[in-house]
């Protein structure tokens, strides 16, 4: 499926379209009792990789949504660098995932809600590659509501 049309849509609405898909993946994580974070990677207006948080199922603290998506995207492209790609993720990447975004040399990172506690920017802005464009706050309230309701239910 091709979404990007260049002139018919503003970049904002394209970002929201892909963020909606990341949100759908976050809800799948939620349904599996995983912390609900979802990610997609887009190249040339097409989704080439998807991921959601699987740290419980895989018993692996590195199994974040972004890490799943980076690996899937590299497999799809047949190379480790994600130049020309955009990562959409429902919550601001942590230090580990921002570091992986750096190594992948991804062009853009678009996230939904900021993570004041574990988001990379709380530690150091320079974790992300200086050439990588960052956009925050896309569908922010939906992204943060999902994760807040997850933790509300956990506390019961």
Q: Is 97 annotated as a binding residue?
A: yes
Question: Least distance to Zn ion from the beta carbon of 62, Å?
Answer: 8
Q: Which of 34, 66, 133, 140 is catalytic?
A: 66
Q: Is 143 annotated as a binding residue?
A: no
The 10 Å Cβ neighbour count of residue 55 is: 17
Question: Least distance to Zn ion from the beta carbon of 13, Å?
Answer: 27
Please give the residue ranges that form the binding site for Zn ion (CB under 5 A): 64, 94, 96-97
66 is catalytic: yes
CB 148 within 8 A of CB 116: no
User: End-to-end CA distance of the chain, in Å?
Assistant: 41
Residues with Cβ within 8 Å of 146's Cβ and at least 6 positions away in sequence, in order, are 23, 26, 27, 30, 36, 90
Three-class SS of residue 7? coil
Question: Least distance to Zn ion from the beta carbon of 118, Å?
Answer: 8
Q: Is 76 annotated as a binding residue?
A: no
Question: Which residue ranges are tagged as binding site for Zn(2+)?
Answer: 64, 94, 97
Q: Which residues are catalytically annotated?
A: 66
């Amino acid at each position: 499926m091709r979404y990007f049309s260049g002139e018919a849509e503003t970049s904002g609405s394209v970002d929201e379209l892909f963020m909606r898909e990341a949100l759908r993946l976050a809800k799948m994580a939620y349904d599996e009792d995983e912390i609900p974070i979802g990610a997609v990677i887009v190249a040339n207006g097409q989704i080439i990789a998807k991921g959601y948080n699987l740290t419980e199922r895989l018993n692996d603290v590195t199994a974040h949504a972004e890490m799943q998506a980076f690996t899937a995207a590299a497999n799809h492209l047949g190379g480790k660098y994600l130049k020309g790609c955009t990562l959409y993720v429902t919550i601001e990447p942590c230090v580990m995932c921002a570091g992986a975004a750096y190594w992948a040399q991804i062009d853009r990172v678009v996230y939904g809600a900021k993570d004041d506690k574990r988001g990379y920017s709380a530690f150091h802005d320079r974790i992300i590659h200086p050439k990588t464009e960052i956009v925050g706050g896309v569908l922010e309230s939906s992204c943060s509501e999902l994760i807040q309701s997850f933790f509300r239910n956990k506390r019961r």
